[in-house]
Homo-oligomer: A and B are copies of this chain.
Amino acid sequence: MASIDRRRLLKAAGAASVGASAPAVAAPAVAQSSPEIQWRMPVSWPKTLDTLYGGAEQFCKYVAEATDGKFQIRPMLGDERIPALEVTEAVTSGMVEACHTAPYYMFAKDPTFAFGCAVPFGLNGRMQNAWWLEGGGEGLMNAFYAKYSIYGLLAGNTMAQMGGWFRKEINTIDDLKGIKMRIGGFAAAVISKLGVAPQQIAGNDIYQALEKGTVDAAEWVGPHDDEKLGLYKVAKFYYYPGWWEGGAMIHVQINKGQWEALPKTYQAILKAAAAQAHNFTVGRYDALNPAALKKILASGTQLRPFSESIMDACFKAANEVYAEISAKNEDFKKLWESVKAFRADQYLWQQLADNTYDTYMMIQQRKKLL
């Protein structure tokens, strides 16, 4: 890990992480405003997922283009030194400058991280964008992140996810009891109240866990990703919706010291690149999910909505967990109150023009008139 030692050395000397071709001595003002920088950015996903890993690549590409190649960020796959689900900790410790992740992987460390990603029966993906930019989310979340020496950028969203793959049908709450399920973070805390035994497993290892019977059920994201991971080959029933992620934000988390050492222009470029990567990831999911859905349905997958009784039981259990954690975690309580207040009125609007428009169009689609 020579490059890390070298980087630390430079950092200790008070310089930003500087690439090989940059001058080691103080440079003139013009050059300093566009320094050469190289960052490493571990990601939480396998390379096969061109939506999530692809989003990380796009982010890096945009930054390079906007800086004429002077600011290079390199996505890295998780490995034994920096496991996919622990990339945030590598940013906090300063082992790397940044990571590209679903913040709720840090739920066990502090459940407040989940508000940077998804919480059960929380905001949908579109509302998350509004909350982040215009509802105070960005400020609140970054105030929390600061405790972990992180500055976060909203850089992607999966939008609402599926509820996952089950080997057998789940009709009532009783059918959930004793099920071993790959399900992460906050959702695990909720669903365990209903008798499910949750397990946190990285995306790349889900197929094997389901195939071997280590788990009876597993959720990942949605048709495109799930098809890539081959999950339809090892479980027949595909449930919806993923009530624990009406939208899952992807963040680029940056070491706070590294962030603050950047020129303002580079900070602005990173923010804009995150917005571009966000729209890319959402757009690619939406563009690719329909074909993937057709493919898995053709292979025999059976779609099933969660029953109302299961949804209601999960909603009740989620509210219990919110109350329990809020009672003992001030940061969590503050974030939850912000999200809850924002959520209260959002559907007043989104049910009106958008939902009515979409419903009319869905009916035309079913009539094969589109």
Which of chain B's residues have a CB closer than 8 A to the CB of A330? none
Expressed in whole angstroms, the minimum distance between the Cβ of A286 and any Cβ of chain B is 4
Which of chain B's residues have a CB closer than 8 A to the CB of A305? 356
Q: Name the residue of chain B whose CB is nearest to the CB of A308.
A: B360
Q: Mark A12-40, 1 if CB is under 8 A from B, else 0.
A: 00000000000000000010011000000
Question: Is A345 among interface residues, defined by CB-CB distance under 8 A?
Answer: yes
Stretch at the interface among A75-83, A106-114, A201-209, A241-249: A241-249
In the complex, A291→B346 CA distance in Å? Answer: 9
For A353, give its contact among B127, B131, B135, B240 (CB under 8 Å).
B240
Inter-subunit contact A162/B241 (CB<8 Å): no
Residues facing B in A99-126 (CB within 8 A) are 121, 124-126
Stretch at the interface among A144-152, A182-190, A275-283: A275-283
Which of chain B's residues have a CB closer than 8 A to the CB of A342? 287
Expressed in whole angstroms, the minimum distance between the Cβ of A344 and any Cβ of chain B is 5
With contacts A66-B272, A68-B33, A356-B305 taken as known, whether A121 is within 8 angstroms of B345 at the C-beta atoms is no
Inter-subunit contact B160/A354 (CB<8 Å): yes
Inter-subunit contact A346/B290 (CB<8 Å): yes
Which of chain B's residues have a CB closer than 8 A to the CB of A280? 133-134
With contacts A65-B264, A66-B268 taken as known, whether A279 is within 8 angstroms of B133 at the C-beta atoms is yes
Q: Name the residue of chain B whose CB is nearest to the CB of A291.
A: B345
Question: Is A364 among interface residues, defined by CB-CB distance under 8 A?
Answer: yes
Expressed in whole angstroms, the minimum distance between the Cβ of A342 and any Cβ of chain B is 8
Q: Name the residue of chain B whose CB is nearest to the CB of A266.
A: B66
Which of chain B's residues have a CB closer than 8 A to the CB of A276? 271-272, 275-276
Which of chain B's residues have a CB closer than 8 A to the CB of A345? 290-291, 294
For A315, give its contact among B273, B289, B364 (CB under 8 Å).
B364
Which of chain B's residues have a CB closer than 8 A to the CB of A162? 352-353
For A121, give its contact among B283, B293, B361 (CB under 8 Å).
B361
Which of chain B's residues have a CB closer than 8 A to the CB of A315? 364, 369
Inter-subunit contact B349/A289 (CB<8 Å): yes
In the complex, A350→B293 CA distance in Å? Answer: 11
Q: Mark A247-286, 1 if CB is under 8 A from B, else 0.
A: 0000000000000000111001101110110111011111
Which of chain B's residues have a CB closer than 8 A to the CB of A282? 126, 129-130
Enumerate 12 A-B pairs (CB-CB under 8 Å) in ascending A order: A126-B159, A130-B286, A131-B287, A160-B356, A241-B353, A246-B358, A272-B272, A272-B273, A286-B350, A347-B370, A350-B358, A351-B358
